[in-house]
């Protein structure tokens, strides 16, 4: 008679083959959206699935979010990104991607010619991976939407973001909220933004530890329309200095004022002070200022 351990091993093996087959069938029968959210797919299963994803022209959206992927998954995901020519939207949010794995992904992004929307928010991306991601996007020719919010880019990542913005010509929407980016890093991003001609939406929300004056902000630039929106966490008056046009209410924190002045200078390369006449209004009650066409 077989002992219980041998029997359990056989049962586990049969179950594993069944699960592998289910994933393969799911990929083969896909009609646009391959949904593997919270599937708990293993590294082995994902590896087996690669040939059925790469080159499958019916898979346009691939969702691998909420799978708690660790660093070791990065190399496999990088293979999918590098070799796929049909995936347009790739979602990797809410995983544990970090370290060397993210560096592989960053390198693969530079080779991809199909992905237009990439969501890597809520992972553990720190500066080595952040730099690799930015370097890949710097030479990428198709990505237009990137979400890397709630990671840990830090100052080094901000420097890489600034360089990426100088060179990338396709990115239109970028979310780098809550990435431990200090105000100096924000200045570098704004300088990179001054060289960029494609970005339409930039979203940056600071966590309380890294907030300037403890405030959150969203910045959107669209051609000659700029919106700064501040979500106040106190009753203090917030006002902005932009493109040479200064409202009467000045910020009490020199670091934040300096940041806005530098960001305004970057924006002045798009919108001249002459064009700004009569187009600036501020609403302290709502904590935002708008520059209108």
Domain boundaries, the chain: 24-234
pTM: 0.73
- Cα angle vertex 24, ends 22, 28, to 5°? 115
Pull the structure tokens for residue 36.
């593997």
pLDDT along the chain (293 residues), means of 10: 39 45 88 95 94 94 97 96 97 96 97 98 95 97 96 94 95 88 78 81 61 40 40 32 35 47 47 40 37 36
Of the candidates 169, 206, 166, the one whose C-alpha atom is nearest the C-alpha of residue 190 is 166
How many other CB atoms are there within 10 angstroms of residue 144's CB atom? 18
Class of residue 25 by CB neighbours under 10 A (exposed 0-12, middle 13-18, buried 19+): exposed
Domain 24-234 class, CATH top level? alpha beta
DSSP-assigned states of every residue in 179-202: S---HHHHHHHHHHHHT-SS--EE
């Amino acid at each position: 008679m077989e002992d219980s351990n041998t029997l359990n091993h056989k049962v586990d093996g049969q179950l594993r083959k069944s699960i592998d087959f289910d994933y393969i069938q799911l990929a083969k029968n896909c009609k646009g959206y391959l949904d593997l959210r919270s599937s708990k797919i293993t590294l082995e299963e994902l590896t087996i699935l690669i040939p059925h994803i790469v080159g499958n022209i019916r898979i346009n959206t691939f969702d691998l979010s909420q799978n708690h992927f660790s660093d070791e998954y990065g190399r496999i995901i990088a293979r999918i990104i590098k070799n796929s020519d049909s995936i347009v939207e790739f979602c990797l949010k809410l995983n544990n991607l970090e370290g060397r794995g993210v560096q592989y992904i960053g390198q693969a992004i530079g080779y991809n010619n199909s992905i237009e929307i990439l969501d890597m928010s809520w992972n553990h991306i720190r500066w080595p991976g952040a730099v690799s991601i930015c370097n890949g996007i710097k030479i990428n020719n198709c990505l237009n939407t990137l979400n890397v919010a709630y990671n840990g880019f830090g100052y080094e990542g901000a420097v890489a973001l600034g360089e990426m913005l100088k060179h990338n010509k396709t990115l239109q929407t970028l979310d780098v909220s809550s990435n431990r980016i200090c105000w100096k890093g924000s200045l570098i991003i704004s300088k990179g933004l001054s060289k960029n001609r494609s970005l339409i939406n930039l979203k940056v929300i600071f966590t309380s530890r890294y907030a300037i004056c403890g405030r959150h902000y969203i910045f959107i630039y669209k051609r000659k329309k700029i919106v700064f929106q501040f979500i106040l966490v106190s009753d203090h008056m917030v006002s902005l200095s932009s493109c040479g046009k200064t409202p009467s209410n000045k910020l009490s924190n020199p670091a934040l004022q300096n940041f806005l002045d530098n960001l305004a200078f970057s924006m002045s390369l798009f919108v001249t002070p002459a064009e700004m006449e009569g187009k600036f209004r501020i609403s302290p009650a709502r904590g935002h200022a708008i520059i209108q066409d």
